[in-house]
Amino acid sequence: MLADTHCHLDMLKNMEVALERARTAGVGLIITIGIDLESSQKAVEIAHQYDYVWAAVGIHPHEAKTVREQTYKELEALAQDPKVVAIGEIGLDFYRNLSPKEVQIRVFKRQIELAKALAKPIIIHCREAIPETWSVLEETDGFCCRGVWHCFPGDVNLAQRCMKKGFYISIPGIVTFPKAERLRRVVKETPLEWLLIETDAPFLAPVPMRGKPNEPAFLRYTAQKVAEIKECELNEVARTTTQNACKLFGINIS
Ligand SMILES: [Zn+2]
Ligand SMILES: [Zn+2]
Give the ligand at the shortest distance from the Cα of 5. 2
Residue 148 near residue 168, CB atoms below 8 Å: yes
Q: What are phi and psi of 184, to 5 degrees?
A: -65, -35
CA of 61 to the centre of ligand 1 (A): 9
List the beta bridge partners of residue 88.
123
Cis amide bond preceding 153, omega within 30:
no
pTM recorded for the entire structure:
0.97
CATH number (3.20.20.140, 3.40.190.80, 3.10.450.50, 3.40.50.1000) of 2-249 reads 3.20.20.140
pLDDT single digits (tens) 159-198: 999 999 999 999 999 999 999 999 999 999 999 999 999 9
Q: What are phi and psi of 26, to 5 degrees?
A: 90, 10
Give the ligand at the shortest distance from the Cα of 9. 2
pLDDT band at 230 (very low <50, low <70, confident <90, very high): very high
Residue ranges per domain, the chain? Answer: 2-249
pLDDT computed for residue 254 by the predictor: 66
CA of 33 to the centre of ligand 2 (A): 6
pLDDT single digits (tens) 96-114: 999 999 999 999 999 999 9
CA of 124 to the centre of ligand 1 (A): 7
